[in-house]
Structure 1
Amino acid sequence: MDKAGDAVTILGAGTQGTRLAYMWTSQGQPVYLIDKDEKQLEKAKKGVETLKSNTQSPWATSGKWGEVITSSPDGLSEAASKSWMLLECLPESLKLKRTIVKELDELAGAETIIASNSSSYTIEEILENQSLKQPDRFSSLHCYWPPETSAIEVMGSSKTRPEIISLLMEETKKHGFSPFHVRKNSTGYLYNRIWAAIKREALLTLAEGVATPQELDAIFKDVLKTPKGPCEQMDVVGLDVVRDIEQHYADVRTGIPEEPRQYLQKMIDQGKLGVKSGSGFYEYDRK
């Protein structure tokens, strides 16, 4: 399959959008970074330069950097005309994502791939009941914390053309990612399905009074030699976000226990959201 252009367009200049712009410019091709917030675009561009200045990065000596071209949504049409892929990195709202993929389907050329970086919603869910011109060119393309974590999960819908998956596997690897093909529709992709089970069982253990967060994290780190335990990780993500993700799993699967969500909700009601609120399983300096 031939690419429809040289550039990649990324919608959303938040943390993920910034880091993905860095990755997708690593082979000399431009990235169009689209966001309605001008200050966020400025911050993103500085963020990309900061990542480039990291001399320990595997891409530090490549010398092939492409340009990051920032724009308001007014520039989306022009960016799309020069891009082989449009990648949405917008907030985790199913309604918002369904709206934007519909707009992108109308806007993009016939050979342009449209992908979602959503961690919560599969492309199958996003496309559900949508009337689209080309439903066979959509994919989920979910990454974690690039460039430090290079894993990226490539998952199509039941209608995605196989050659699109092949191209995404090839291009992500070329740009420094470690691609993993999710072979069937899977809420949580690969890693997050396993991580969800760990989170859920940790929360159930706490809800039953079996251990404290400190004890749970300590034994987890002792056995698996990880830098953070599950409670510390959930504090970083945000307990309200963890609760929403858990709710989504419960909505799409049977047999998900309620106690972990109830435990989280009690903490959220007390204003304990984790690092961002200064208090969660642990206390944090608000600065």
Structure 2
Amino acid sequence: MKLISVIGSGTMGNGIAHAFALCNFQVNLIDISEQSLQKGMDAIRKNLDRQVVKGIITEENKISALKNIHTFTDTKLGVEHSDLIIEAATENVDIKMEIFKDLDKFCKKEAILASNTSSISIGMIASVTNRADKVIGMHFMNPVPVMKLVEVIRGYSTSDEVTKTIMNLSINLNKNPVEVNDYPGFVANRILMPMINEAIYTLYEGVAGVEEIDTVMKLGMAHPMGPLQLADFIGLDVCLAIMNVLHQGFGNPKYAPCPLLVNMVTAGSLGIKSGLGFYDYSKGIKDAHVALKFSN
């Protein structure tokens, strides 16, 4: 593995590119516009600077990492010579399947195609390609440069060789890979998202307020961040998308998204990305204050 392509320069995509470039891989970062790519590269520079200040890396490491990243708006040019392509687009099954159709046509036959999906079936994504044995999930955690876990999701047809390759590659990135099977939500979000959804129900039913719910989970359960604040960080639209995948995948009403979550996403209150969620971020993350007082 020498050349890695990353599809999408948003939070996850630029974080994945950052992690690979810092470990001396050549990285092609791909997005639909120069503006998106510039924003992604700005985020990488900022995060590398933060690591320099903290003494995690040197200035030389930062300069080398930035030299390892090349940007493309043409997907074919960005992936045609790559050994591994990691898709990090929005959590939408139709978008991902279109991307994988194109990747299957544009990439060399031996290339491995990975998705950073947090809930969508790897088998479903692989079904639109002619290389299902070479399609796998690499679910990185946010923020990618900091978080050690990579969920390696083995699809129904993923080969032993590809699984082993991705597990070893993750270790070479200084990550801790965990192999899981291809079921809705995998492990991380099958457990996390119902907890977040239940926290939203707790607010919706008037059991307690936003700050109170988050405080109970932080102080009582030793969570570094309360579930409602975490939902804002993930993006309420992403939370809703994952809950819908769980609900449809298992057909169990316990996975039905809370009506409050649905209403907030419909209204455009998506958390940090929109500036408003359970908290108001109009004055910045550090000065965020409770935005939603709700009782049924």
What's the TM-score, normalizing by structure 2?
Answer: 0.84
Q: Deviations over 1:65-109 (max 9, x none)?
A: 461011111xx4344343210111112221111111111112222
Contact 1:221 1:227 in 2 (8 A): yes
Letter in 2 for 1:181: E
Please give the residue correspondences for 1:121-270 in structure 2 after superposition, counting only pairs within 5 Å.
Answer: 121-128=120-127, 130=128, 132-145=129-142, 146-182=144-180, 184-257=181-254, 260-268=257-265
User: For 1:86, what is the secondary structure of its paired residue?
Assistant: strand
CA distance in 2, matches of 1:106, 1:96: 16
Contact 1:204 1:259 in 2 (8 A): no
| Alpha carbons of structure 1 residues 200 and 57: separation in structure 2 relative to 1, 3 Å | farther
Q: Report the number of matched residues.
A: 278
CA distance in 2, matches of 1:60, 1:187: 40
Higher mean C-alpha displacement, 235-244 vs 23-32: 235-244
- Asked whether 1:119 is paired with 2:115, we answer no
Letter in 2 for 1:67: N
Q: What is the aligned partner in structure 2 of residue 95 from structure 1? A: 94
User: For 1:154, what is the secondary structure of its paired residue?
Assistant: strand
The offset of 1:11, in angstroms, is 1.2
The offset of 1:58, in angstroms, is 4.2
CA distance in 2, matches of 1:233, 1:41: 26
Contact 1:97 1:126 in 2 (8 A): yes
- Asked whether 1:29 is paired with 2:25, we answer yes
The offset of 1:60, in angstroms, is 4.1
The offset of 1:45, in angstroms, is 2.4
CA distance in 2, matches of 1:50, 1:60: 14
Letter in 1 for 2:237: D
Q: Deviations over 1:162-182 (max 9, x none)?
A: 111111111111112221111
Q: What is the aligned partner in structure 1 of residue 288 from structure 2? A: none
The offset of 1:200, in angstroms, is 2.4
The offset of 1:57, in angstroms, is 6.2
CA distance in 2, matches of 1:70, 1:269: 33
CA distance in 1, matches of 2:117, 2:55: 26
The offset of 1:37, in angstroms, is 0.8
The offset of 1:283, in angstroms, is 3.2
| Alpha carbons of structure 1 residues 190 and 245: separation in structure 2 relative to 1, 3 Å | same
| Alpha carbons of structure 1 residues 113 and 263: separation in structure 2 relative to 1, 3 Å | same
Contact 1:122 1:186 in 2 (8 A): yes
What's the TM-score, normalizing by structure 1?
Answer: 0.87
Q: What is the aligned partner in structure 2 of residue 72 from structure 1? A: 73
Contact 1:11 1:86 in 2 (8 A): yes
CA distance in 1, matches of 2:157, 2:265: 39
User: For 2:156, what is the secondary structure of its paired residue?
Assistant: coil
| Alpha carbons of structure 1 residues 140 and 270: separation in structure 2 relative to 1, 3 Å | closer
Letter in 2 for 1:210: V
Contact 1:52 1:60 in 2 (8 A): no
| Alpha carbons of structure 1 residues 260 and 10: separation in structure 2 relative to 1, 3 Å | closer
Contact 1:106 1:133 in 2 (8 A): no
The offset of 1:134, in angstroms, is 1.6
Letter in 1 for 2:228: C
Q: What is the aligned partner in structure 2 of residue 51 from structure 1? A: 47
The offset of 1:218, in angstroms, is 1.3
Letter in 1 for 2:126: L
CA distance in 2, matches of 1:207, 1:48: 37
Structure 1 unaligned segments of length 5 or more: list them: none
User: For 2:152, what is the secondary structure of its paired residue?
Assistant: strand
Q: What is the aligned partner in structure 2 of residue 8 from structure 1? A: 4
User: For 1:120, what is the secondary structure of its paired residue?
Assistant: coil
Q: Deviations over 1:216-273 (max 9, x none)?
A: 1111111122332111111223333322322221111122337742122344455543
Contact 1:203 1:260 in 2 (8 A): no
CA distance in 1, matches of 2:90, 2:266: 22
Contact 1:139 1:154 in 2 (8 A): yes
Higher mean C-alpha displacement, 233-242 vs 191-200: 233-242
Structure 2 unaligned segments of length 5 or more: list them: 285-296
Higher mean C-alpha displacement, 109-118 vs 199-208: 199-208
Q: What is the aligned partner in structure 2 of residue 20 from structure 1? A: 16
Q: Between the two proteins, what is the percent identity of the paired residues? A: 28
Letter in 1 for 2:20: W
